[in-house]
A and B are shown apart, each in its own frame.
Chain A
Amino acid sequence: MPNILLTQRCVRSCPYCFANKHMSDSAPDDILSWEDLIYIADFMEAAKERRFPILGGEPTLHPDFNDMLIYLLERNFDINVFTSGIMTNEKLEEADLALRDVPPERLSFTCNLNDPEKTHSPLAEVESVKRFLKVFGNRVTAGFNIYRSDFKLDFIFRYINEFGLNRTVRLGIAHPIPGKKNKFIKPEDIKAIYNRLLSYIPVFERLRIKPGLDCGFPLCLLDDAQLGWLYRFTGGKYDFGCAPVVDIGPDMKIWSCFPLSSFHTKSLFEFNTLKEVYDYYSRIHDIIRTEVGGIFEECDNCNFREEGLCRGGCLAHSLSNFRKEHPLRMKEIYM
């Protein structure tokens, strides 16, 4: 299902941010209008899609954030909001008042948390996040983006226990933005990321917190013991995929996913159905995959990839590498 960006403005400037470009390029009045929100809701309803993931920037910066949520809930969508949790007290109180009676299964938050020790965060921001978690903790899943190999998860475990968050952590790996400079994990460092992540196995087990891996993690770098533990502990809910997520911007532009946000950008109005959108971006992905299997040379002949168990890591790595070459590949790659 596509992600809908209420605004591209953000309150933070994270070094790994996939959306870095969009934050800096965004116009001051860069917010989704009601007319376009209703169009998107109709578009989703026509596709029989009942889930409505809301992103930013920081979506709570939208002046009609609460009203738009209430409207979408009334239209029977189940909403997940990706937020930093950073907002003023007034905004938080208003959100609490507006949303407190909505069942958690209908409205949830994924709160992207930065480690205050590793990523510079002013104390006021940290306190703001804690206030948010205190109010909405029972409907929050912690999200953490890994952009350096010496990351720590301890602060997340503390937050989960202190504020009663869901006992799953959504772990994302920072990917490159082709043609841009952001901090990301290089393919050769992913093994170390896995090792560090799984060094927390005793804590995961003791606290009964499940690690959830976002897209772009390759299967082959996990050894059988690590993979076995992940499958046993989480019920095997991993697909090691890289497929079009599709983001819809406040100006109704769409793209495959944030790392590919400047690649084959179209307008939602160019498509009649959600299926058409996914077909379009899937075809683009497939074209690139025919050029290069994945992030490692071995991906080209990988059985896991051929059998659909792994997509060969994030496509953004391949596109970034293509930019370093003379443009001899298929034209779709350079659009």
Chain B
Amino acid sequence: MNSHILVCPGDINLLNRLGGKTVVIRLSDFEDVTPTIERAKHLQLDIKCIALHSDIPVSDIPFNRDWEGEPLAVFAPDLGNLRDFIKKIALLRHFNIRFYLPNDSGGCYTSHRILSSLGFSVAVLLNDDGVNWDALCDLMTYSLLGLVRHAPIEPFQYVTAQYDRNRHTDYASVYFEDPTSFLHLDGEGHVALSPDELRRGSFIGVNVDEIGDLSGNVEYVKRIESWRNFFLETNGCAYCQGWRVCLGKFAQGRKNNSSCKDFHVELMDVVEQYQTMKDKNKTVWQP
């Protein structure tokens, strides 16, 4: 249990109870960022990052110089006005920041590409039924096989770093959704295994300290073993070529459209190509 990162709101009473733990603090009010960071540091919490959920575009967020160097995950509906964003670039260059954006209205993940090419790490927010798989494949190719260096685009960079052709690679961690790494807390301290379960009020315990060793927690074990269920369906995701990196994340949408398979197969191909190229670039020692 101690190795888990706790994703929690910035509630002061809750933070007081989490002393010494590694946390991702969820915030939605920009004015809370600086005092929450100060409070967390005072409590000697290990801040993995501040997950700032914005309902306004990135270009309109009032970024504060005090946030410089602090690990930030900014979830926003879109990039917004490019010119307004570029006015903020000089400040943002000093930030330790990753932007999480859904697909944009044009459907081509243009904002992700712009941000990455300008040197900002970005992650694609994938939802089950709104993914433009062809465009996502183009973005992945750009991310991994681009002509010049640019900032990482997730989850592609994560898969590249973790990929082993003989094992599963689960990129849920990019979104703090891997229950073997992250637990999600509400303001009362109730513990859930995913953001979705947190929203639904499906908890595995009422208090982090009471949970104890998770390997003995029935709900937890059931949840982390749930991937086995895919093998019980005769034509389920487990029989798909993309299974090793997808792990059934898009099972719901797959019933209507199997493009997720093509994407994940392509992802593995490109990652293997990328790794091969990287191996070729090994340099011999120099005198």
A interface residues, Cβ below 8 angstroms from B: 33-35, 38-39, 41-43, 45-46, 66-67, 70-71, 74-75, 98
Contact = CB atoms under 8 A, between A and B. Distances in A.
Given A42-B146, A42-B148, A71-B86, A35 B118 contact: no
A38 B150 CA distance: 11
B110 A74 contact: no
Nearest to A73: B86
Contacts, number: 43
Interface in B124-148: 138, 142, 146-148
Given A34-B108, A35-B108, A42-B146, A70 B113 contact: no
Nearest to A74: B86
A98 B118 CA distance: 18
Interface string B157-193: 0000000000000000000000000000000000000
Contact of A43 (B108, B114, B147): B147
A45 B147 contact: yes
B147 A66 contact: no
Given A46-B147, A98-B83, 11 more contacts: A34-B113, A38-B117, A42-B147, A43-B147, A46-B148, A67-B82, A67-B83, A70-B82, A71-B114, A74-B89, A75-B118
Interface string B38-49: 000000000000
A215 to B, nearest CB: 28
A67 B83 CA distance: 6
Contacts of A66: 83
Contacts of A46: 147-148
Nearest to B87: A70
Contacts of B117: 38, 41-42, 75
The binding surface of chain B is classed by DSSP as: helix
A70 B118 contact: no
Contacts of B146: 42
A38 B113 contact: yes
A71 B147 CA distance: 18
A267 B196 CA distance: 46
Contacts of A38: 113-114, 117, 142
Interface string B95-129: 00000000000001010011001100000000000
Contacts of B89: 74
23 contacts: A33-B108, A34-B108, A34-B113, A34-B114, A35-B110, A35-B113, A38-B113, A38-B114, A41-B117, A42-B117, A42-B146, A42-B148, A46-B147, A46-B148, A66-B83, A70-B86, A71-B82, A71-B114, A71-B118, A74-B89, A74-B118, A75-B117, A75-B118
Nearest to A40: B147
Contacts of B142: 35, 38-39
The interface centre, meaning the residue of A41, A43, A71 with most chain B CB atoms within 10 A of its CB, is: A71
Contacts of B114: 34, 38, 71
Nearest to A47: B147
Contacts of A67: 82-83
A46 B83 CA distance: 25
Given A35-B110, A38-B114, A70 B148 contact: no
A118 to B, nearest CB: 39
A25 to B, nearest CB: 25
B83 to A, nearest CB: 5
Nearest to A67: B82
**Closest 8 interchain pairs by CB?**
A42-B147, A34-B110, A46-B147, A67-B82, A45-B148, A42-B148, A46-B148, A38-B117
Contacts of B147: 39, 42-43, 45-46
A5 B278 CA distance: 35
Contacts of A42: 117, 146-148, 150
B221 to A, nearest CB: 44
B80 to A, nearest CB: 11
A41 B113 CA distance: 12
B124 to A, nearest CB: 15
Contacts of A70: 82-83, 86
Nearest to A98: B83
A125 to B, nearest CB: 28
Nearest to A45: B148
A45 B119 CA distance: 14
Nearest to A94: B83
B148 to A, nearest CB: 5
A30 B126 CA distance: 30
A66 B113 CA distance: 18
A41 B110 CA distance: 14
A23 to B, nearest CB: 26
Contacts of A39: 142, 147
A101 to B, nearest CB: 10
A91 to B, nearest CB: 15
Nearest to A41: B117
Nearest to B81: A67
Contacts of A71: 82, 86, 114, 118
